[in-house]
Structure 1
Amino acid sequence: MAEPIRPEPGTAGKTVNFELRGIDYVPDDMRDSTPSNLFRVFVGAQLTFGIMILGWLPVVFGLDFWSAVTATTLGTIVGAVMFGLFSLLGPRTGTNSAVSTGFCYGVKGRLLGSFKALFIGVGYLALTVWVCGDMVAAGVARMTGSGTSDALRAISYLVIMAALIIIALVGHDLLVKLQKYVIPLVLLGLAVMVATTFSAFGSTLETQASTLSPSEYWVAWVATFVIAMQLPVSYMPFANGFTRYISRKRWNDRSVFLGMSLGVSLGVLIALIVGIYISTLFAADQMSFGDGVVSVVPSWFVLPLVLIALIGAFDQGGFALYGSGLDASSVIPALRRLPATVVLSVISLLLVFLGSFVWDAAVIVSGFVTIIAVFVLPWAAVGFTSFLFQKGRLWPLDLQVFEKGIRGGAYWYNRGWNWRSTAAYAAGVLVALLFVKSDVYNGVLADAFGGADLSMFVSTIVAVALYTVFRLISPEQLELPAKGETSTASPALKNPASASVPE
């Protein structure tokens, strides 16, 4: 694989370099990122109205402001802790999240993670372009006094997507450097937006009262908790694409965990609470989120609001498209990151047009959240359980055999698949589908928890428990690296004969 054009160690952030690296192993002497970079990236990635729309959902559900904030805060903290723990893989494996999980699922079984990352990345990209494009179109319409037309929205989507392609193609360095400008600019803009609408919010808060019955309130509160929790969880397939640039010689696990978990939790809380706040100021169940936000701010603030929407879209959308490009290249090794990025942008743009002109916004967004919750958390939980069983000691180069077109190594298992983890994960998801409760799909046991959707927790418990049982019944015969081992390849991989045929 082509070597990337990257800065010398310790110079990250001083220049922007075009990244040619895909999902191949990053040697330790080329890892120039820091935990503070991780913190900034995952704060800045949330500061977009494409994420804030998730704060619109609790208001649509009927929760009052403080109930929505409480559920959101608790859910975010739980999700951020899980996200931070999963992020510890990257510094050990030197590659992205999906390929990293090859130690658990097998070097081919890790494709489960690649497909999930593709789905989430394309989904969040489409959501970001859709919401921010609507806000730009609504803002232009209000400033010019014209109505918001389909043509204006379509042009907004195309312009935003074109900018995102450029950002994602440049890659890691630009995404890190953007945070120096995105975070202060967007935070300032959001502060002004809150200040200019606070009197209206105060009046709304005094008169706001939930009309939900106790059972309806419980269902809405749990749904809000799950929405907040799944947001950090949904970044797990992308987390190690950033932590792979952290040197274990310079930074310990604690610093990586804190940088990632604090960054994502702060960003998510700001985004969702602002989303909840602004959604209380308009008829959330009757008006789209983008149109509603533009309608409640003073006329003089419409142009700054449009600029904030664009800045946030460039950051979060670029993040999603970059991560998706990495995972597309890991699914099809012959497809490099750059062409994969362009192909995925076209797919996302198609979804944007369908979401804008064909589908119902609230149903699609809530359905997307449900799918993420059910499919991602058990996958990551089984992976982290395996990580603990293997004492955090991994062979990085053994994870790369699928991309290099060879067979064998420590994680070949059975033709590249580990049946224990794969079967446990599949069983967890299948059981969870019985309990799903959403506007898109309801399982046969959807009302088992009083109408609340706890399928994410069911799938995780079942998957981890089964994986543990399967390991006890049929132990994985793995040779772990010794403490202080400096080799990045296992003895099996270093022996050409052993690395060319299945075990």
Structure 2
Amino acid sequence: MTGHDISYIESDTIYPIPENRRHGTASSLFSLWFGNNVKFLTLVTGSLAVSAFHLGVVPAIAALVAGNVIGAALMAAHAAQGPRLGVPQMIQSRGQFGSYGALLAIGVTLLIYVGYTTSGIAVAGNAIHSAFPAVPSTPVIVTSGLAAMVLAIMGHDAIHRSARIITICSGIILSLCTLKFLVGMKLPDHALWGNGFTLRDFVGALSVAALWQISYAPYVSDYSRYLPVRTGPSAAFWATWSGAALGSCLPMFLGVILGAEAPSVDVLTTFSTGLGVFSHPIVVLLTLTLACNAAIDVYGGMLVGITLVHTFLPGWRPGQRARIGFCVLLAFSGILAAAGTASTFLHSYMNFLFLMLYILIPWSAINLVDYYMIRRGEYDVKSFFQPDGGVYGYFNTRALFAYLVGIIVQIPFVVSDLYTGPVAKMLGGADLSWFVGLAVVCPLYFFLCRDNVAAQALPMGDVGTHAGS
């Protein structure tokens, strides 16, 4: 695949991208993560600061800004690994956990990709059906899923190019919608500050925004691995951080405004009703962006699925046919789940996925501490693909111990419809599990593994990247 022609179907999968085929600039990461966050689900998430945590508009916006800033910083720190190592995120996890030790995080990430693909195209179908009741949701779900599949099959460059278009279009639409609601806003007198500020509610809303960002941590290196090594960690970090934080904050702000204006009405209904005659075309345009959002999930799921199979077949050299096959499998799994599942089940399934996110918190902590504080970006990339795990072996027992501790210490703080921990209940539903997980795992892993010395990273050409099929 050339770096500048999306008519070619990408052939690369999990093997490192050689420097002579790296291309692009860090600005592409801004557009990708901005466009991926401007969607209906982000708006609904922002409205929770008002509807679930009962904050006024001002403290709600402050909490969401803080949560997005913190969460996006953790997520963006993973982006710097792509240009440095040239491999997908979950392949790089073998450097911390070993070839078999990384399987739990890989399996959880695959479930998350399938769930987010399902929810994205399901929202597309429901949005169009709500705006146009005569249009059944199923055909829209199938069309959106197929469009996402085609875009994911085309690959990395096609996704980045569509993201640039979406960023421009959705940014303009969102700005106009926000301006429209601000001009016509009629909030009750107490709505700006709420009936009573509590730190518990503020932290709860902050955590929702932070978890929203952290959920993207397994994605980011997948979309930065084609950037030249000279891109550097700073440029990759700031482009990813600013795109993710800004792209999330804007729709979340709108969600707060809509939730405060009509607290007893579904926020999407308020959105559609408030736009009047403009609601139909705007809903259609924003729904079109969901295909690109779902393509990101299908593409990432493809890489994780190949990584999972490669663990047991280390001599396999997956190429273009393998990535097409996995894209088709992921897309049709999402289509079938979205079209054939009752809304109540989908709600429960998404809550299950949120529990899976808690399993990824200690993975993120271990990955970042290992990369920045212990190995300082120096990895033996060739070992990622060796049958015995190379210098990293099959298992890193110390990393797995820290990982298990990180999961256990979060349990009392977890908040979901499926399970809410005792400490979370005492805090009135504020979810501090992510903070506790990070606070415990980071120093624990550093203490346990600070004496690990990895081999120096090999030149990318030593690994070999042209895969078969």
After superposition, the C-alpha distances for 1:348-405 in whole angstroms (9 at most, x for unaligned) are: 23443476533485x7666644542x2222211111111221122112221122xxxx
3-state DSSP of counterpart to 2:13: coil
Equivalent in 49, 57, 60 of residue 65 of structure 1:
57
Equivalent in 296, 308, 325 of residue 302 of structure 2:
325
Mapped to 2, the partners of 1:227 and 1:164 lie a distance apart of 27
1:48: how far off?
Answer: 1.7
Amino acid at match of 1:52: L
Mapped to 2, the partners of 1:370 and 1:71 lie a distance apart of 22
Mapped to 2, the partners of 1:191 and 1:455 lie a distance apart of 33
- Answer whether contact 1:97 1:241 (CA < 8 A) is retained: yes
- Answer whether contact 1:44 1:179 (CA < 8 A) is retained: yes
Residue 497 (structure 1) aligns with: none
Amino acid at match of 2:228: S
- Answer whether contact 2:82 2:224 (CA < 8 A) is retained: yes
1:305: how far off?
Answer: 1.4
1:486: how far off?
Answer: 4.4
- Answer whether contact 1:279 1:293 (CA < 8 A) is retained: no
1:93: how far off?
Answer: 2.0
Mapped to 1, the partners of 2:51 and 2:213 lie a distance apart of 22
Residue 262 (structure 1) aligns with: 242
Q: Does 1:339 align with 2:325?
A: yes
Mapped to 2, the partners of 1:34 and 1:164 lie a distance apart of 24
Q: Which segments of 5 or more consecutive residues in structure 1 lack a partner in the other structure?
A: 494-503
- Answer whether contact 1:49 1:128 (CA < 8 A) is retained: no
Residue 136 (structure 1) aligns with: 128
- Answer whether contact 2:159 2:296 (CA < 8 A) is retained: yes
Q: Does 1:49 align with 2:40?
A: yes
Mapped to 2, the partners of 1:426 and 1:199 lie a distance apart of 51
Mapped to 2, the partners of 1:109 and 1:454 lie a distance apart of 27
Residue 113 (structure 1) aligns with: 105
- Pairing 1:103-502 to 2, within 5 Å after superposition: 103-141=95-133, 152-201=136-185, 203-204=186-187, 206=189, 208=191, 217-248=198-229, 250-283=230-263, 285-287=264-266, 289-299=267-277, 301-333=278-310, 336-353=322-339, 357-359=343-345, 361=347, 368-369=353-354, 371-372=356-357, 374-387=358-371, 388-401=373-386, 406-412=387-393, 416-447=394-425, 449=427, 451-471=429-449, 475-476=451-452, 478-481=453-456, 486=459
Q: How many residues align?
A: 453
**If the length of structure 2 is used for normalisation, what is the TM-score?**
0.88
3-state DSSP of counterpart to 1:358: helix
1:449: how far off?
Answer: 4.4
Mapped to 2, the partners of 1:447 and 1:50 lie a distance apart of 25
Identity among equivalent pairs (%): 21
After superposition, the C-alpha distances for 1:60-113 in whole angstroms (9 at most, x for unaligned) are: 212222222111100111112112222222222211111112111112222233
Larger radius of gyration: 1
After superposition, the C-alpha distances for 1:456-489 in whole angstroms (9 at most, x for unaligned) are: 12222222233233336xx43x44318xx74776
- Answer whether contact 1:132 1:290 (CA < 8 A) is retained: no
1:313: how far off?
Answer: 0.5
- Give the CA RMSD over aligned residues: 2.7
Deviation larger for 234-243 or 153-162: 153-162
Mapped to 2, the partners of 1:344 and 1:15 lie a distance apart of 21
- Answer whether contact 1:420 1:471 (CA < 8 A) is retained: yes
Deviation larger for 327-336 or 170-179: 327-336
With over 3 angstroms needed to count, the CA separation of the structure-2 counterparts of 1:328 and 1:303, relative to structure 1, is same
Residue 28 (structure 1) aligns with: 19
With over 3 angstroms needed to count, the CA separation of the structure-2 counterparts of 1:290 and 1:337, relative to structure 1, is farther
Mapped to 2, the partners of 1:194 and 1:445 lie a distance apart of 37
Mapped to 1, the partners of 2:294 and 2:195 lie a distance apart of 35
- Answer whether contact 1:92 1:396 (CA < 8 A) is retained: no
After superposition, the C-alpha distances for 1:20-41 in whole angstroms (9 at most, x for unaligned) are: 2211111111111210111111
Mapped to 2, the partners of 1:308 and 1:356 lie a distance apart of 26
With over 3 angstroms needed to count, the CA separation of the structure-2 counterparts of 1:189 and 1:391, relative to structure 1, is closer
With over 3 angstroms needed to count, the CA separation of the structure-2 counterparts of 1:298 and 1:108, relative to structure 1, is same
Mapped to 2, the partners of 1:427 and 1:391 lie a distance apart of 24
Amino acid at match of 2:51: V
Which structure is richer in relative contact order (CA contacts within 8 A, separation 6 or more)?
Answer: 2
**If the length of structure 1 is used for normalisation, what is the TM-score?**
0.82
- Answer whether contact 2:111 2:353 (CA < 8 A) is retained: no
After superposition, the C-alpha distances for 1:106-155 in whole angstroms (9 at most, x for unaligned) are: 122222332232222222222222223211111113xxxx6xxxx71222
Q: Does 1:6 align with 2:2?
A: yes
1:47: how far off?
Answer: 1.6
Equivalent in 8, 18, 25 of residue 9 of structure 2:
18
3-state DSSP of counterpart to 1:332: helix
3-state DSSP of counterpart to 1:304: helix
Q: Which segments of 5 or more consecutive residues in structure 2 lack a partner in the other structure?
A: 311-315, 465-469
Mapped to 2, the partners of 1:209 and 1:370 lie a distance apart of 33
1:448: how far off?
Answer: 5.2
Amino acid at match of 1:311: L
Mapped to 2, the partners of 1:138 and 1:256 lie a distance apart of 39
Mapped to 2, the partners of 1:282 and 1:16 lie a distance apart of 47
1:418: how far off?
Answer: 0.6
Amino acid at match of 1:218: L
- Answer whether contact 1:65 1:205 (CA < 8 A) is retained: no
- Answer whether contact 1:72 1:225 (CA < 8 A) is retained: yes
